[in-house]
Amino acid sequence: MGFVRELLEALRNLTAQYPGRLHRDERNEGMKRQLQSHAYKLLTHLGKADAETWHKMTELATTLDLDQSKVSAVCTGFSEESLIDIQEDEFEELTLEEAGQALLASNEPLLEKRIAKLLQEKGEAMGTPDIAGALGVGPQEVGKTLRFVLSKGYARKEGKALAPQDADIDAEQADEALLRRLGESNGTILLNSEEANSKANKNVLKGLRSRGYAKTRTRKQRSVRLTETGRQLLKDGVEEIKLVNQLTEEMMLSGEWKNVTFREYDIQLDTAPVYAGKAHPLRRVLEETRRAFLNMGFTEIRGPYVESAFWDFDALFQPQDHPAREMQDTFYCANPGTFSLPDKELVETIRQIHEDGGETGSTGWRYDWDEEKAKQVVLRTHTTAVTVEACHKNPNPPQKVFCVGRVFRRETIDYKHLPEFHQVDGIIVDEHASFAHLLGTLTEFYRQMGFEEIKFRPAFFPYTEPSVEVFVRMPGRKEWFELGGAGVFRPEVIRPAGVNVPVLAWGLGLERLAMIRYRVEDIRHLYLSQLDWLKELALCQ
């Protein structure tokens, strides 16, 4: 029992020692303060430097041959003891991208210099195709480089051609200097705030990023210096102690454990990052969307990517001359080029509704409806085609269904448009359904998706009346973001399906929702394999 008591006492002594900090040996009161080896090395090193000199933690780790995590932990502890001061500065970390690495490896000058040299050698104006042919590059590549050629004064415009300028093409430009520094620094350099934020450098960095030569990332650099309290401690004297990592059986049997100092473990120290497996952020949004509607009692339905124009447009009372049906907005399929239409009675009903309103009380669109246009095959432009077809298959209320899926539109790719994206469409068919129920359903959906501020604005859509656009706002942000449209299906849409009760409907974009949640400025970012971003993304965001 005596042995057990001694062991418990030893364990209590272990937990009493403060990790990574200066401490006084209680058995030697009044003697020198004791420091662990790495803390002793750091403090004495700082004591040898000038009082006003700041030391970067990264450089201290290299100089003292210590792990940066140890340096950071010791400095934090010393700062709490007022032995050192810590200051934090922001830097822009500039890193070579693949295109920049390839350029440096080729030892060739930037393309604008090659163009300038060619023009000076020819002594005459040249068009883009001629320049591309002479340099062995694509015309598009030359076109993208023109602004750099002109901004650097290497050439001037003469109509559609470039004429040579008397410029010193051998002089090193600012972007070349940064690329050279990157090459000399293993592909990464730190720019202080003055360098990064100067107007000239901002444009240079923007150019390097746009050409794929380099990327920037904001980093924080911490520096330390010894305080007067720390210097006084060194004058009073410090003593280096070596710590034992593990309590062994031999120590317990011999009693040696009574005379050693054990190393402490600080659970708050930085550790090597562990990147857990996780779902892609867009996939998370899609699954959360499904879960939200399932929680509200909806049934999920699915439909084909390839639809007839009849279900994608005509059944939704969208006129055949509507701009959305033009070739520049919709993907039309060539093989097969047409689909067969549903039964003749339904087709004839849709014809009458488009031409004169049929039996709905509407005047229709007042044009001659073309059955051949309705047979055309398209990549679905919205998932509303799936929900309206569901009305025709089951017109009996009550029912609540939704569809999450890809849709396709002939968009020019930019930071907020893609030709392929995801939507969630839904309908509520119920004799007691009202416009207020529609707004309440959408408010609850976005609340489940993490948005507390939702507003609606009146809008127009060919197949709903009344109609609204849906907006949300993230906490801490001023701007409102439009995420989709909603409304009550018009009689021209639901009467052909045999539905005689209100039908609430909505179509909401999901990529934009993901962009707002994850603060992504460019929609393309969601589809690129940017591993750094994916690794650091919080699991619970």
Q: Is 4's pLDDT higher than 60? A: no
**This model's pTM is above 0.85:** no
Q: Is 28's pLDDT higher than 60? A: no
Least confident of 94-108, 185-199, 236-250: 185-199
169 vs 12: which has the higher pLDDT: 169
pLDDT at 441: 95
Q: CB–CB of 190/221 below 8 Å? A: yes
What percentage of the chain exceeds 70 in pLDDT? Answer: 92
Over residues 339-366, the pLDDT tens digits come to 999 989 999 999 999 999 888 888 988 9
Q: Is 151's pLDDT higher than 90? A: no
Ramachandran angles phi, psi of 267, nearest 5°: -75, -5
pLDDT at 454: 93
Over residues 380-431, the pLDDT tens digits come to 999 999 999 999 999 888 999 999 999 999 888 888 888 999 999 999 999 9
User: Reduced to 3 states, what is the DSSP secondary structure of residue 51?
Assistant: coil
Over residues 225-274, the pLDDT tens digits come to 999 999 999 998 888 887 788 888 988 999 888 877 887 777 787 888 78
CA distance 251 to 260: 9
pLDDT at 7: 57
Q: CB–CB of 383/507 below 8 Å? A: yes
453-461 vs 33-36, strand pairing mode: unpaired
455 vs 186: which has the higher pLDDT: 455
Kindly state the average pLDDT of the residues 512-529. 87
What percentage of the chain exceeds 90 in pLDDT? Answer: 38
CA distance 408 to 308: 14
Q: Is 91's pLDDT higher than 90? A: no
CA distance 352 to 391: 19
* Separation in Å, CA 522 to CA 106, 178, 406: 31, 26, 19
Q: Is 211's pLDDT higher than 50? A: yes
Kindly state the average pLDDT of the residues 287-311. 94
Q: How does residue 51 score in pLDDT terms, banded at 50, 70 and 90? A: confident
Domains of the chain: 2-83+227-259 (no CATH), 96-216 (1.10.10.10), 282-536 (3.30.930.10)
Ramachandran region, residue 244 (left: φ > 0; alpha: ψ -120 to 50; beta: rest): beta
Ramachandran angles phi, psi of 523, nearest 5°: -60, -30
Kindly state the average pLDDT of the residues 150-173. 87
